[in-house]
Amino acid sequence: MTSPRALPLSAVLTALVLTLTACGNGDGSDASGADEEALNLGILYPQTGSLAHLGAPQLSATEYAVEEINAAGGVLGTDMPVPMQGDEAGDEGRANDAASTLVSDGADAVIGAASSGMTQAVYETVTGAGIPQCSGSATSPGLTDIDDGGNFYRTAPSDLLAGPVLAQEIIDNGHQDVAVIARADDYGSGYLQTVQNELRSNDVRVSVSESYDPDATNFGSVVDSINESNVDAVSLISFEEGSQILAALLESGISGDQVYVTDGLNDPDLGSTVSDNAALVNGVTGVAASADNPEFSQGISDFDEDLDAFQFAPHVYDCVTLVALAAESAGSTDAADYASQVGEVSRPEGTECTDFEQCRDLLDDGEEIDYQGVSGNIDLDDNGDPTTATFEVFEFSADGYGIREYVEYSGEEG
């Protein structure tokens, strides 16, 4: 073994300077660029991967919320910096690496991940560091009871709320024999079980209940099982790969008005994705978490004129606002001080308020608050789940894509 070579004095001095620089920037920020006085957000969202179409509204909603908060004076009088970004990429390993980077770079809270699977993959990294995590779109029921130390929250409703709304659409249209098909992951399995249970509790037969590998290249066996069962309706719980299944179903003779989809296929351009004949999807109906809030839609459109999709944007905006209000309530941007307040500022025991500035002023007056989100009344429970939610019923017709109605639902109904 050779002896280590002595470094020249110039190299030693250079290393010393670099070490001191890494310890602090002399401007109140650490080496990562995080501002020690400010509330620093990280956002983990799909920049690439199968859910990349959800990325733009997630990022825009986060940045829009930060702009609104800063326009009102910032958090505890300090502007929030531009959020740090990480790509969940539809891959558990890459998502967890991105989450680790956000934590090590000084994020005081993480917004995301977008999908339930990626959220499941990263929550230990984030919440295990004592940092609050809030997802505006992860809906799997399995996330309710995770061991998160009380640090995981979501503003998107659990599929335990969404499933009954979708099932009721099927029931109201008089279907009596249904196939429920879902992707085999956290999102699909929880949604499938909820829809199936609701249908059966209303005396609707579920002849086919099947999960599929979302990474498969051929879904012929799924389509065959549906066609062989002679069901009168199909509930398809999927992401973008579901367009392949939907195309095969419609081409096999199942009509659009027999098909019910979920938020993963809530896309105005679904018709052109499915077939050269876009009218093939006419009659298809779906349910997605939403917000009956034209003012918010106009506001985020003005903020980002290139944004043409708004799915889950209100819920992500609410995540950011809840975190900011929690810091205001605790009088600190230290996660250890404010994390427990994220749910508290949404509770019905407080005075209702509808935006950061109004809620902040109430807190300054010593009042408890009940933040009424742009996505609706949230009322987070002890597990960090919203107890009430608004859903849109969307449909495809000869007039194109449209929202037929908004439905408010809580677990106490039905």
| Residues 119-170: tens digit of each pLDDT | 999 999 999 999 999 999 999 999 999 999 999 999 999 999 999 999 999 9
β 133-135/152-154 pair status: parallel
Domain membership of residue 203 (yes or no) is yes
pLDDT band at 7 (very low <50, low <70, confident <90, very high): very low
Global confidence as pTM? 0.86
Q: Do 188 and 274 belong to one domain? A: yes
Domain membership of residue 370 (yes or no) is yes
Q: Do 238 and 114 belong to one domain? A: no
Domain membership of residue 164 (yes or no) is yes
Q: Do 270 and 181 belong to one domain? A: yes
pLDDT band at 391 (very low <50, low <70, confident <90, very high): very high
Domain membership of residue 15 (yes or no) is no
Q: Do 178 and 123 belong to one domain? A: no
Give the range of the structural domain holding residue 250, as residue numbers without chain letter: 160-289+390-410
Look at the alpha carbons of 301, 304, 307, 313 in this order and tell me if their dihedral is positive or negative: negative
pLDDT band at 96 (very low <50, low <70, confident <90, very high): very high
The tokens describing 378, both together, are 């949230």
Answer yes or no: is pLDDT of 242 > 90.
Answer: yes
Q: Do 61 and 129 belong to one domain? A: yes
* Better-predicted residue by pLDDT, 99 or 11: 99
pLDDT band at 225 (very low <50, low <70, confident <90, very high): very high
Q: Do 182 and 252 belong to one domain? A: yes
Answer yes or no: is pLDDT of 1 > 80.
Answer: no
CA–CA gap between residue 83 and residue 71 (Å, rounded): 16
Dihedral of the CA atoms 407, 408, 412, 413 (nearest 10)? -30
The tokens describing 380, both together, are 């987070």
Task: Provide the CATH number for the domain around residue 182.
Answer: 3.40.50.2300
- Average pLDDT, integer, range 352-361: 98
* Better-predicted residue by pLDDT, 72 or 187: 72
Domain membership of residue 31 (yes or no) is no
* Better-predicted residue by pLDDT, 22 or 332: 332
pLDDT at 28: 46
CA–CA gap between residue 342 and residue 338 (Å, rounded): 7
Answer yes or no: is pLDDT of 43 > 50.
Answer: yes
Question: What digits encode the pLDDT tens for the residues 99-122?
Answer: 999 999 999 999 999 999 999 999
Q: Do 72 and 192 belong to one domain? A: no
CA–CA gap between residue 165 and residue 180 (Å, rounded): 14
Q: Do 62 and 179 belong to one domain? A: no
pLDDT band at 177 (very low <50, low <70, confident <90, very high): very high
* Better-predicted residue by pLDDT, 394 or 30: 394
Q: Report the candidate in 150, 161, 75 with the shortest Cα–Cα distance to residue 408.
A: 161
Answer yes or no: is pLDDT of 22 > 90.
Answer: no
Q: Do 46 and 129 belong to one domain? A: yes
pLDDT at 410: 86
Q: Do 169 and 261 belong to one domain? A: yes
pLDDT at 33: 54
Domain membership of residue 87 (yes or no) is yes
Tell which phi-psi region holds residue 248, choosing left (phi > 0), alpha (psi between -120 and 50) or beta.
alpha
* Better-predicted residue by pLDDT, 32 or 297: 297
- Average pLDDT, integer, range 278-288: 96
CA–CA gap between residue 250 and residue 247 (Å, rounded): 5
Question: For residues 135 and 112, is the Cβ–Cβ distance under 8 A?
Answer: yes
Question: What digits encode the pLDDT tens for the residues 51-83?
Answer: 888 899 999 999 999 999 999 999 999 999 999
- Average pLDDT, integer, range 361-371: 98
pLDDT at 412: 56
Domain membership of residue 8 (yes or no) is no
Q: Do 102 and 87 belong to one domain? A: yes
- Average pLDDT, integer, range 83-97: 97
Question: What digits encode the pLDDT tens for the residues 227-241?
Answer: 999 999 999 999 989
Q: Report the candidate in 132, 82, 48 with the shortest Cα–Cα distance to residue 336.
A: 132
Q: Do 326 and 235 belong to one domain? A: no
pLDDT at 86: 98
Structural domains counted in the chain: 2
Domain membership of residue 29 (yes or no) is no
Question: Which residues are within 8 A (CB) of 96 and not within 5 positions of it... i.e. 6 or more apart?
Answer: 121, 122, 125
Percent of the chain whose pLDDT exceeds 70: 91
